[in-house]
Amino acid sequence: MSRQRYVIALDQGTTSSRSVLVDHDGHMVDFVQRPFQQIYPHPGWVEHNPQDILFSQLGSLTELLQRHNLDEKDIAGIGIDNQRETTIVWDPSTGTPIANAIVWQCRRTEPIIRRLCSDPAVAAKIQAKTGLLPDPYFSASKIAWLLDNVPGARKRAEAGELLFGTVDTYLLWVLSGGLVHATDPTNASRTMLFNIHTMRWDPWLLDLFGIPASMMPEVRPSSGEFGQTSYPAVPAGIPLCGIAGDQQSALFGQCCFHAGQAKNTYGTGCFLLMHTGDQAAKSTHQLVTTIAASAPGVGHTEYALEGSVFVGGALIQWMRDELGIIHSAPETEALARSVEDTGGVYIVPAFTGLGAPYWDPDARGLICGLTRGTGRAHLARAALESLAYQIYDLVDAMQADAGRQLDVLNVDGGASKNDFLAQFQADILGKPLRRPENIETTSLGAAYLAGLGCGFWDGIDELEDMRQKDVVFTPQMNPGDAEILVNGWHKAVQRALL
Q: Are 84 and 166 in contact (CB under 8 A)?
A: yes
Q: How far is the CB of 336 from ligand ADP (least distance, A)?
A: 9
Q: How far is the CB of 31 from ligand ADP (least distance, A)?
A: 13
Contact partners, residue 269, CB within 8 Å, separation at least 6:
308, 309, 310, 311, 312, 313, 314
Nearer to ligand ADP, 209 or 424 (CB): 424
Nearer to ligand ADP, 414 or 455 (CB): 414
Q: How far is the CB of 308 from ligand ADP (least distance, A)?
A: 11
Integer CA distances (angstroms), 185 to 78, 276, 316, 330, in order:
18, 16, 34, 37
Q: Which residue is nearest to ligand ADP (CB)?
A: 414
**Residue 373: how many CB atoms within 10 A of its CB?**
8
Nearer to ligand ADP, 184 or 333 (CB): 333
Q: How far is the CB of 432 from ligand ADP (least distance, A)?
A: 20
Q: What is the DSSP letter of 215?
A: G
Q: How far is the CB of 265 from ligand ADP (least distance, A)?
A: 7
CA dihedral 63, 67, 69, 73 (to 10 degrees): -50
Q: How far is the CB of 473 from ligand ADP (least distance, A)?
A: 14
Q: Which ranges of 246-353 would DSSP assign to H, the alpha helix?
A: 246-253, 313-318, 331-337
Nearer to ligand ADP, 210 or 414 (CB): 414
Q: Are 304 and 292 in contact (CB under 8 A)?
A: yes
Q: Write the DSSP string, 96-155.
A: EESSPEEPTT--TTHHHHHHHH-SHHHHHHHHHHHS----TTSHHHHHHHHHHHSTTHHH
Q: How far is the CB of 313 from ligand ADP (least distance, A)?
A: 2
Nearer to ligand ADP, 317 or 374 (CB): 317
Nearer to ligand ADP, 10 or 157 (CB): 10
Nearer to ligand ADP, 24 or 417 (CB): 417
Q: By the criterion CB under 6 A, which residues form the site for ligand ADP?
A: 267-268, 313-314, 316-317, 329-330, 332-333, 413-415, 417-418
Buried b / exposed e over 90-126, threshold 16 CB at 10 Å, is beeeeeebbbbbbbbbbebbeebbeebbeeeeebebb
